[in-house]
Structure 1
């Protein structure tokens, strides 16, 4: 199976390609230097030449706060880029996976969002990701939309790496405690995405690691597992203002995975432990 993966230089795309190679797939990973997804003709030409069996679209504009100031750039990547890739997939008769986000919801309430809940994004990044979802659904009759949250992986920046870096110089940190969700380890997610595209169980899915936590609880677990002595002070969202509104409730229900015979991802604590051990191995060389 030949699989084209966009966003190869990002966290999700990188691990999907690595995992795919391990599983014997013909993986073609591209970043923005290899393929400008906002250039319609380039996308059609590239996909036509590669002629993949599946496209896993991980590329995205993800600078949540910056998106409020760079709306045109964000729209071009997240909406137009997705539209062009979906159209090219249709022509190539390739299966299509679109990686979306918890930011399509407004974050109100305490219940986990199901795949059937109506999105209501409050920030511009979330708006563009939801518009991307709608383009996929309007252009294709068979598709996978996979919503994830709080991503951490081997490639690129993430919350875990930031906390570990800060721990080198600081013994105390203020971390938000009233935003609750589920971390998503890309090493686990990659395997699920590859399983998914070998089926015809199309639709919207939520795919994060099992269990919920706040950012402050996440930080405490990072320091516990890495043996760092850092005192975490829990603060409120109001005490840490940002340009874009963050959803306070990012809990996602994974019922749809179970209904379609997919394995749930491990607990976020177990996967964090695996991830930190991998980082340590790399550090030691």
Structure 2
């Protein structure tokens, strides 16, 4: 049975990836900095010795490196480079003990603001915040280690689902609507994002890892179309059956804002890794129902 190690296995995306690999018959273990859980081992990727032990003890055939400081706005600048860059170097160095398949989870944030609406993988990266800059540095580390490993770089756009932290826009809006708040404070509102649900994104990750011809490639992980913040609010208003007033709060306005993040999914399709996601309204309705059930059972 193919063995898979997922760094950040207790995180939002990492946990989804672990579930998808397990459902497809892989032997999966994940790392976590929290208390150990089922199929999880404690390992801080900043600790090179701990990472080496995790790799050596489990000897995975595939490593999915998803552990990271992933919020654009939380964390001190140095933390992005300590966790993301140093951590990635530790993972790649440990993985290089033999030729392994490695899928590095980067971010669409490496594109920054481009002059074209639809972002393709051949555009030159131009990140404008510490998260995007640190992730682009991780990509360069992957290139540096490319001769020793079988590496694919994945750039996720906006993955949404139950369990995502409330410093991301969809769970923040869900909380405000479920509380029947009259107002919600947001930052820049003239933004467009490419949303894809967690389950579909995780299943696509399995296909990417299991598809030999994605080796050496960079792949967007996206739905391939954009939703404005106004449209997102309109869908929420229909689901919750009331409108909420948006107040632009200077505290939440990012001076380095990426205004349009819309990905091309062409490479996913060409490499037989594409799974058509449900539409955004369906995803949000499912999230609302799951959140309500979770609240009722707690």
**TM-score of the aligned structures, taking structure 2 as reference length:** 0.85
Change in Cα spacing, 1:131 to 1:71, as seen in structure 2 (3 Å) is: same
Alignment correspondent of 1:165: 175
Equivalence map 1:34-183=2 (5 Å):
34-67=42-75, 70-141=76-147, 142-157=150-165, 158-167=168-177, 168-173=179-184, 175=186, 176-183=188-195
Contact 1:6 1:58 in 2 (8 A): yes
Q: For residues 100 and 120 of structure 2, what CA distance do their matches in structure 1 show?
A: 27
CA apart distance, 1:42: 1.6
Of 3-12 and 213-222, deviating more is 213-222
Task: Count the aligned residue pairs.
Answer: 280
Alignment correspondent of 1:230: 243
Change in Cα spacing, 1:53 to 1:228, as seen in structure 2 (3 Å) is: farther
1:17 matched to 2:34? The reply is: no
Q: Which runs of 4+ in 1 moved over 4 A?
A: 232-235, 238-241
String of CA shifts for 1:153-182, please: whole Å, max 9, x gaps.
Answer: 233414322212112141233554321121
Q: Which secondary structure does the structure 2 equivalent of 1:143 belong to?
A: strand
String of CA shifts for 1:182-222, please: whole Å, max 9, x gaps.
Answer: 11321111111011111112211111234211223223223
CA apart distance, 1:95: 1.0
Contact 2:200 2:275 in 1 (8 A): no
Contact 2:223 2:265 in 1 (8 A): no
Q: Which secondary structure does the structure 2 equivalent of 1:137 belong to?
A: helix
CA-based RMSD? 2.3
CA apart distance, 1:66: 3.6
CA apart distance, 1:60: 0.7
Alignment correspondent of 1:208: 222
Q: For residues 133 and 60 of structure 1, what CA distance do their matches in structure 2 show?
A: 13
Q: For residues 233 and 254 of structure 2, what CA distance do their matches in structure 1 show?
A: 22
CA apart distance, 1:63: 3.1
Q: For residues 77 and 183 of structure 2, what CA distance do their matches in structure 1 show?
A: 35
Q: For residues 76 and 172 of structure 1, what CA distance do their matches in structure 2 show?
A: 37
Contact 2:159 2:201 in 1 (8 A): no
Q: For residues 110 and 273 of structure 1, what CA distance do their matches in structure 2 show?
A: 31
**TM-score of the aligned structures, taking structure 1 as reference length:** 0.89
Q: Which secondary structure does the structure 1 equivalent of 2:262 belong to?
A: coil
Contact 2:119 2:263 in 1 (8 A): yes
Structure 2: 5+ residue stretches without partners: 35-41
Change in Cα spacing, 1:283 to 1:192, as seen in structure 2 (3 Å) is: same
Q: Which secondary structure does the structure 2 equivalent of 1:147 belong to?
A: strand
CA apart distance, 1:121: 0.7
Alignment correspondent of 1:194: 206
Contact 1:160 1:219 in 2 (8 A): no
CA apart distance, 1:239: 5.9
